[in-house]
Amino acid sequence: MYLDVYALLVKGGWVLIPIFLLSLFGWYIVVERWFYLKSKNFKIFPAQNNLRGLADHLHKSLVQVYEKQGNHEEALRLTVREILQPEFQNLNRHMSTLSVITSVAPLLGLLGTLTGMVRTFQIITLYGTGNPAMLAQGISEALLTTQAGLMVAFPLILCFNSLQNRINSLELNSLSFASQWISTKTKTRN
């Protein structure tokens, strides 16, 4: 199997190596983010309609601010944003890198296409069109890199969108439940 991968990398030219490495790194990020989000789904953010499900640190901080500042709804909302900001940063960690990988992979495929076609034209210039085996090497390089770039980018784009939707949902749910908690506390105090 390793020999097959190596033969494919050699056949596709030098551009196929960065595409392959980007693929490995991209899938590492997808798997890491998926497990991270799965582990954080119930520990940090509340289940639906469960105000007690807020994270302990968020709840304690809100109670402290509530006790110090009383019925200042805006102060509580600012505190929520300050407390949740590090969590939101952790949720979005590596997502911009994954986005870049999904953009760069097809561009590298295009670069491989161009290098393969340049190679083909150089062979035509030197030897003419009489040797189809030599022409096939350049055309093969061009097609392999294009295919590899698209095969890396397409599933990673789908995974990126799925992960980003889940992150956005978690962020919105956490802000919504914190807002409900604040509204409940400020109404009961009035």
Written as six digits, the tokens of 91 are: 């949720």
**Any idea where the domains of the chain sit in the sequence?**
100-190
Distance between CA 180 and CA 188 in Å, rounded?
A: 12
pLDDT of residue 176: 78
Instruction: Write the DSSP assignment of 9-71 as a string of letters.
Output: HHHH-TTHHHHHHHHHHHHHHHHHHHHHHHHHHHHTSPPTT-GGGS-HHHHHHHHHHHHHH-S
Helix orientation angle between 16-43 and 132-189, rounded to the nearest 10 degrees: 20
Residues 6+ apart with CB under 8 A from 62: 54, 76, 79, 80, 83, 178, 181, 182, 185
Q: Could you report the average pLDDT of every consecutive run of 10 residues in the chain (190 residues)? A: 70 85 95 84 45 54 67 72 80 93 94 89 84 82 90 95 88 77 66
CB 37 within 8 A of CB 170: yes
pLDDT at position 70, please? Answer: 61
Structure tokens, 5: 């991968």
- The answer to pTM > 0.85 is no
Evaluated on CA atoms 156, 21, 12, 119, the torsion sign reads: positive
